[in-house]
Chains A and B, each alone.
Chain A
Amino acid sequence: MSGKKREKAEIDQVQLVYASVLDVVSHIGMALIAAGFLIYVLKLLPLTVSIEDVAAHWHMRAAEMNRILTVPSGWSWVQDPLHGDVLSYFSIVFLSMAAMICLVSVIPVFLGEKNRTYALIALLQVIVLAAAVVGIAS
């Protein structure tokens, strides 16, 4: 460690951009999670699978449950989004995409700084996450 007295350390612009986007995305994600769950458990919208049915099968392996019930998985929910359980599931999907949204937003900043190496690493990370998101990895 080496140090000198100073009020603030210099933080990369790209890091500040990532922090700002993450701040917005994580707050939206948490609000969606809370709202989606309340709509779900209070049954404010119709459900694709009743809560009682889910609870009756949650001791089974996911694959077994999916053979019996059509609970939302992957992007299946897009076809029929206006259901309480689907909205709650969507909030989890959104949270799981937060890192990818942040990474996409910093690639232009890396390129603007002519930092091609990190722009490439960030792009590769986005490709890995996108492969998971679109189901190629599954």
Chain B
Amino acid sequence: MRAAGSNKLVPVLCTVLPAFIMLLLPPDLLASSLPSAAPTVWWIWVLLLFVFSFFLGIVSVLAGVGGGVLFVPIVSSFFPFHLDFVRGAGLLVALSGALSAGPSLLRKGLADLKLSLPLSLIGSVSSIAGAIAGLMMSADSVQLLLGIAIISIAAIMMKAGKSGYPEVGESDVIAKALGISGSYYEPTIDETVNWKVHRTPIGLVLFFFIGFIGGMFGMGAGWANVPVLNLLMGAPLKVAVATSGLVLSMNGAAAAWIYLYKGAVLPLIAVPAVGGVMLGSKIGARMLTKVNTGSVRIVVIVMMVIAGLRSIIKGMGL
């Protein structure tokens, strides 16, 4: 038993520790050690971003969080890129992850198009508004609010429970009218799970606010989508996680265009981030069965709190 536990700990240490040590370094240490303006070092930053994003991809899969929520606060603290470009890249990180996982989740019936469409319609409008507001605000204000948001998200992740198969008595009027229900085959219990949802009106209101926050900070919103779909609306956990990605692919695209028009998406930053996270996610998925994901989740929450505090300090100009 002890040997098995040690085996599970090794991959955790190898993936989480480098990221954790980076977080504990003094603010702007990396940024100040390599002058961003020097013409010869651009590729070092691009390479570092790719390596960081790769580890982030592994950690985010193991912890069950989207890469975007960790990407923005950490990269904006440790890399010389302005927060505008980090948020633009963060949206693309969240968007591309959702797009690549989408087809298989849709075919299995885990991601549900009818559940996602009304929520993403509301959310995409507000994510556009959030992106416009975020790009109009001063960078320090956004950094400060980002720190507060990240710490709040960490608190939600700690407090929010999850329910594999929530009990839903009767669907609400909107869910009935739209025919929001579905089924999927669950191999762990060898049964087809039929599900329906309730409290859709409250869910729509919450998705408006979630979309706004996601657009403003350039983050994915799985941290909020999943609890609302699962705990509030009563979708089974797997359906909530998969459908959250589908919603994100539409909300993220809407907000990404605001950043594209404002010139806040640089391929030099966005592409290594997307490539690193996607490659890391694939490795993370393979490690999933070998790693104690509960421990990783706790470490990630601690990382988020530290990253959030650093954002607040940076935003206050201290």
A interface vs B, CB < 8 Å?
1-12, 14-16, 18-20, 22-23, 25-26, 29-30, 33-34, 36-37, 40-41, 51-52, 54-56, 58-63, 65-66, 71-74, 85, 88-89, 91-93, 95-100, 103, 106, 117-118, 121-122, 124-125, 128-129, 131-133, 135, 137-138
Contact = CB atoms under 8 A, between A and B. Distances in A.
Given A19-B107, A129-B254, A62 B95 contact: no
Contact of A135 (B118, B191, B261, B275): B261
Interface stretch (B124-132, B222-230, B294-302): B124-132
A96 B95 contact: yes
Given A52-B39, A61-B139, A16 B107 contact: yes
Interface string B77-95: 0001110110010001001
B170 to A, nearest CB: 14
Interface stretch (B52-60, B63-71, B144-152, B264-272): B264-272
- The B contact surface, by secondary structure, is helix
A29 B148 CA distance: 34
B113 to A, nearest CB: 5
A66 B194 contact: no
B258 A137 contact: yes
A65 B178 CA distance: 46
Contact of A11 (B109, B274, B278): B109
A113 B266 CA distance: 42
- The contact size tier of chain B is 35 or more
Contacts of A98: 99, 249, 253
Contacts of B109: 9-11, 15
Interface in B2-43: 36-37, 39, 41-43
A128 B81 CA distance: 30
Contacts, number: 230
B208 interface: no
A64 to B, nearest CB: 8
Contacts of B46: 41
Given A58-B36, A58-B81, A132-B124, 18 more contacts: A1-B193, A9-B183, A11-B106, A15-B112, A15-B113, A23-B103, A30-B278, A33-B96, A36-B271, A59-B82, A63-B84, A96-B256, A96-B257, A98-B99, A121-B118, A128-B121, A128-B124, A128-B125
Given A58-B36, A133-B257, A2 B194 contact: yes
A-B pairs, top 9 by smallest CB distance, nearest first, are A55-B42, A3-B191, A1-B165, A73-B263, A19-B106, A132-B257, A88-B267, A62-B264, A138-B261
A71 B263 contact: yes
A113 B269 CA distance: 43
A123 B222 CA distance: 25
Contacts of A95: 92, 95-96, 99
- Which of A1, A40, A41, A91 has the most chain B CB within a 10 Å cutoff? A1
B192 interface: yes
- Which of A9, A59, A97, A103 has the most chain B CB within a 10 Å cutoff? A9
B102 interface: yes
A33 B92 CA distance: 12
Contacts of A122: 117
Contact of B260 (A52, A56, A73): A73
A112 B118 CA distance: 20
- Which of B85, B269, B272 has the most chain A CB within a 10 Å cutoff? B85
A91 B193 CA distance: 39
B35 to A, nearest CB: 10
Given A15-B106, A22-B103, A96-B257, A88 B271 contact: yes
B194 A1 contact: yes
B254 A56 contact: no
